[in-house]
Amino acid sequence: MTLSFPNASRSYDETRKAVRFAGHDGMFEIRFFVELDAIAGLDKKSSQAWSAEASFLSAFDTYRKAIYDVASRVYSKGRRNIVTLTATDFR
Q: Say what the pLDDT of residue 53 is.
A: 80
Global pTM value: 0.88
Domains of the chain (ranges; CATH) run 3-90 (3.30.160.140)
Q: Say what the pLDDT of residue 54 is.
A: 82
Between CA 86 and CA 33 the distance in angstroms is 9
Q: How many CB atoms lie within 10 A of CB 42?
A: 18
Between CA 53 and CA 2 the distance in angstroms is 31
Tell me which amino acid residue 43 is.
Answer: D
Report the run of H or E that residue 32 belongs to, with start and end. strand 28-35
pLDDT in tens, 5-42: 999 999 999 899 999 999 999 999 999 999 988 988 88
Whether 69 has a pLDDT exceeding 60, the answer reads yes
- Taking Cα atoms as reference points, which of 17, 40, 32 lies closest to residue 84? 32
